[in-house]
A and B are shown apart, each in its own frame.
Chain A
Amino acid sequence: MKRLSDLLRSLPALLALAVFAAPAAAGDGDSGLRPDIPEPLRGDSCVEETEDMRRNHMDYLKGHRDQVMHQGIRTKKYSLKECLGCHVPTEDEARRAGRSEGEHFCQNCHEYAGVELDCFQCHNTRPQEPRLPHPLTPRNRQTMQDAGNPATAELLNKLADSDKNETGVAQ
């Protein structure tokens, strides 16, 4: 009896869901089925190839977090703060761009994928101030190489070494 009454109580909600969700899904192709992921604000590529990041970002983040927490290795390459710096607008920027409160690069995709995201129970969801693009994105690296300045090349070698050690690089 109890179960039946529960079902009846939730019936209006279920009906409403069916009525409103159906046209959205059927409307314009499969757009309703894809996650709504905001475009990054700055930078033209990520610190690794997109395919790599899609599959492995959690491992990069976790490795980096343990290094920072326990050893104090505060490199920036795989830092969550740096992710947010490019992918999430500051409050001011969001307001100016007319972006809604709910739009969040990480959260939107995780919601869609049904993967619980614990980072933001403690970490701030937004960067506090706008950041410059990451210097180690492949395209920026190429630009630096093309510049051909000896000082730049020296810096680049240094950065590349750190890169090989997988410790990331200081900005």
Chain B
Amino acid sequence: MSDDKQPDLARREFLQGSAGAAAGLAVAPGVMLYGPAASAKPIDEAASSEVRWGMLIDANKCASDCDACVRACNTEHGLGDEDQSGPRQQTQYIRKVELRNKATGASHSLPMMCQHCETPPCADVCPTGASFKRADGIVLVDRHICIGCRYCMMACPYKARSFVHESLEDQEPYTPRGKGCVESCTLCVHRIDLGGIPACAEACGAEGNGAILFGDLNDPNSAIAQAVAEQATTEVRADLGLNVGVRYQGI
């Protein structure tokens, strides 16, 4: 048996080696793909499972006193207009979290939102199929079939979801929101489908500290895939084995 295996291993190593060399060549001429490595899919084509959208957030770059991502998100999706709801009820797609290591006193700031799990617990528990994962890895709520039971809010280990408690008006055209439905970060899917990047990543690059890198984790030429392959990155609650799409550095 071991004799049979040897040639296969050698062949695999050879293939891996040549693939790596090819990738290296592609990068060598100094063509770096930054930011929206995303090429827009044709508008009448379905999202493809060959793509996996993700984010890499560098907590070392993220400043405690900056909330550019949160503001951009609220503006993009028209959040924060629930005047009958308390602060604990109001919708948050993304929020800033301060972490402090009690032993060392080291403190970090980072944005926390839906982590777009590969195996999302919210979708597992959803009784109607309203919580689902799109082919390209984006986890969404289909409000047309959400009955507002809030099982998904219980199931989410990241507290990423919010429930709308009151009737709303003047919603943003790409983010319809209404009373009785659960909602969460959509990774700005309406922008991604048109070749853009999420509002938080854009704002972090423009007025923040460039801590959020967005791209296709499945594309070996994308900046995010290369960063994830080369540097140590962390999943929050990696113990759950959810293989999240949003990864962190420096925590």
Q: Which residues of A contact B (CB under 8 A)?
A: 65-67, 69-75, 81, 121-125, 127-128, 162, 165, 167-170
Contacts and interface: CB of A to CB of B under 8 A. Distances in A.
A74 B43 contact: yes
B39 to A, nearest CB: 14
Interface of B: 41-47, 132, 134-136, 140, 142-144, 167-173, 176-179, 181, 189-190, 193-194
Contact of B44 (A81, A121, A128, A170): A170
A28 B167 CA distance: 39
Given A121-B179, A122-B143, A122-B178, A72 B47 contact: yes
Given A122-B178, A124-B173, A72 B189 contact: yes
Given A65-B144, A71-B135, A128 B41 contact: no
Contacts of B176: 122-124
Contact of B173 (A72, A128, A165, A167): A128
B136 to A, nearest CB: 8
A65 B176 CA distance: 12
Contact of B43 (A66, A128, A165, A170): A170
Contacts, number: 61
Nearest to A91: B170
A71 B47 contact: yes
Residue of B44, B45, B132, B144 contacting most chain A CB atoms (<10 Å): B44
A168 B43 CA distance: 10
B173 A81 contact: yes
A74 B142 contact: no
A75 to B, nearest CB: 5
B46 A71 contact: yes
A129 B240 CA distance: 45
Contact of B134 (A72, A75, A81, A128): A72
Contact of B177 (A66, A69, A122, A162): A122
